[in-house]
Amino acid sequence: MNREDGWLNADLPCDIHVPLIENGIIKEPLEAGNCLSCEWVEEKSWWLKKVFDLDDNLLNVDNLKLTLESLDSEADVFLNGFRLGHHRSSFYPFTREVKRFLRLKENILLVRVSSGLEYYSELDLASLNKNLFLTKTPYNRGDARRVFVRKPQYVYGWDWGPRVATCGIMKGVYIESFSKLAVRAVHVFTKSIEDDAVLSFQIEIENFHVFSTADGTVKLEVFLGDEKAAGVEQEELLRSGINYVHMDVSISNPGLWWPNGMGGQPLYTIKASVQSGQVNTQYKPFKYGIRMLRLNQDYVRGLCMGIRLKR
């Protein structure tokens, strides 16, 4: 798209201010008092558009899932004229199965975003007004309605920066294809830490067949940098629909994740996949720090035991 047809070019991630600055419509809001002249931006809703074609093979798979990793913050998503839904948080991805909406040529993805305040009123704030602290200066104009909006709160004014409320698509957008099986989610927590660390996994696997089971090999791998730290495979009979597979992985001489200033912060890369026949479906790799948090009350108990009451 170009300026002549009413659209501005933009790359992802896209804070709505960036294309406006690049095209000379507004000045950099963090310089001088420009935040005041740019405030009209937060009072508008903004449309973002992507036109794309599909590879022939993609329409032959069982499932196509659209993911928008971060929509900031109130958003409506449309694909080829169909409304996929409304999203209300920049901290959680928007996902939909979209195969039935897609075509081979000229698919149009439209996203309408706004800063979020327009959904809330003084009536919503009635029970909170006595519990909110707002900084009020000429450049830092706090807004109590921000507490209802699931996005970074500082954009509505903070003691270290002016009010520059924004919206946009703040992370990636992609379509994933699946045939026969899909790894929908991987949950992990540190079960124990001694000489070895034991990580406990719950893997969510979907079998797309409406009634048939499938034999699958579930594989987990844990890497620290390029070095493989652990791996395990497990045979599973996967029923139609959602299956939950539990697996434990033991890591020798683990590198522990410490709070800032108390030690190192190594992050392990987790890779999960499931194979059934010729189909191998992989989950997007992610990072994990091995640590456990425990409330130690031994010192408090010792103090209590040492207290004598005088008559």
Mean of pLDDT values over 18-27: 95
> Phi, psi at residue 59, to the nearest 5°?
-75, -5
Q: CA-CA distance, 47 to 18, in Å (whole number)?
A: 14
Residue 56: predicted pLDDT: 86
Residue 220 pLDDT class (50, 70, 90 cuts): very high
Residue 139 pLDDT class (50, 70, 90 cuts): low
Mean of pLDDT values over 13-30: 94
Containing 305, the helix (H) or strand (E) segment is helix 298-305
Amino acid at 86: H
User: Are 72 and 168 a contacting pair, CB within 8 Å?
Assistant: yes
Residue 1: predicted pLDDT: 41
CA dihedral 114, 118, 119, 122 (to 10 degrees): 150
Q: What is the pTM of this model?
A: 0.80
pLDDT(10) > 90:
yes
Query: Hey, what domains does the chain have and what are their CATH numbers?
Result: 3-174 (2.60.120.260), 181-288 (2.60.40.10)
Q: Kindly tell me the burial class for residue 27, based on how many C-beta atoms sit within 10 Å of its own C-beta (0-12, 13-18, 19 or more).
A: middle
Rg (CA), the chain: 25
Mean of pLDDT values over 214-225: 96
